[in-house]
Amino acid sequence: MVESIRRGVSETARLEAFSDGVFAIAITLLVLDIKVPESALHALWKGIADAWPAYLAYVTSFLAIGAVWMQHHGLFSCMRLVDATVMRLNLGLLLTVSFLPFPTGLMAAAITTSRASERAAVVLYGATLIAVNGLLGAMWRYVATHRKLLHSDVTESVFASVERRQIPRVGLFGAATVVGVLLLPRLAVFGFLAVALESVVLARGDRQPGRIEHREP
């Protein structure tokens, strides 16, 4: 213990637990933005159908946070220790992730308002996702250059190959945002969904870095 105080590091367990808590809450709070106005209760099928932008935003943000959780999980499964910088980068990541419900709700509300509003909402939403994924990328980068934080059996090439496949979706989310600004904002919304879906399907923490047969241990 004293040794780890001296060396300015600590174990990963509690940071993971706290982060998991924030991810889990942010992902679950998203549902609070799905609402059917009271006036629509008398024609409820229409009311349910008219809420489609809220479902779209819900699924997009859910998958985006889910993908971040999977990558976070993957990063920390390589790590043995955390230091102060990791703690601060992680706090920044959590700040942006728990901010996400706000632009999510805004985007859902703006979709049926006007194209200018939709554009503003799409830019704020895209900027938040870029910040989330940028901070995640910064954490990967930082850990890659501070090997004492990694488990001893995680070689550089293993980590690099995992990192490459997990490269944060900054670029793709940025591209979707640009499309939303220059072309149709609504296209950006579906772009975000596509990137988030892709993240969940392709990115993950414990991806095997090559073609390796699955042997029973």
Rule CB under 8 A: which of 137-176 touch a copy of itself? Answer: 148, 151, 153-155, 158, 162
Q: Does the footprint of a copy of itself cover residue 181 (CB under 8 A)? A: no
Structure tokens at 150: 């990694």
| DSSP state for residue 32 in the 8-state scheme | G
Query: Vertex 3, ends 7 and 137: CA angle to 5°?
Result: 35
Task: Return the residue of 58, 140, 173, 192 that touches a copy of itself, per CB under 8 A.
Answer: 58
Q: What's the Cα-to-Cα distance from 207 to each of 46, 48, 71, 100, 129, rounded to whole Å?
A: 43, 39, 10, 27, 23
Six-digit token pair at 47? 């009311």
Does 66 participate in binding a copy of itself (rule CB under 8 A)? yes
Given the rule CB under 8 A, which of 72-80, 135-143, 174-182, 187-195 is the region that contacts a copy of itself?
Answer: 72-80
73 lies in the binding site for a copy of itself (CB under 8 A): yes
Element (H, E) at 55: helix 52-78
Beta strands in the chain (DSSP E): 9-11, 81-83
Category of 92 on φ-ψ map: left (φ > 0), alpha (ψ -120 to 50) or beta: alpha
Q: Does residue 31 interact with a copy of itself by CB under 8 A?
A: yes
User: Binding to a copy of itself by residue 26, rule CB under 8 A?
Assistant: yes
Q: Does 124 bind a copy of itself (CB under 8 A)?
A: yes
Residue window 74-103: x/- pattern of binding to a copy of itself, with contact defined by CB under 8 A: --xxx----xx--xx--x--xx--xx-xx-
Cβ atoms of residues 79 and 149 within 8 Å: yes
Query: For a copy of itself, how many residues bind (rule: CB under 8 A)?
Result: 89
From 14-22, 132-140, 167-175, 187-195, give the range in contact with a copy of itself by CB under 8 A.
14-22
Out of 68, 121, 139, 193, the residue judged to bind a copy of itself by CB under 8 A? 121
Question: Locate tokens 């889990």: which residue?
Answer: 24
For the CA atoms of the chain, what is the radius of gyration?
A: 20
Residues 198-217 that bind a copy of itself (CB under 8 A): 200-201, 204-209, 212, 214-217
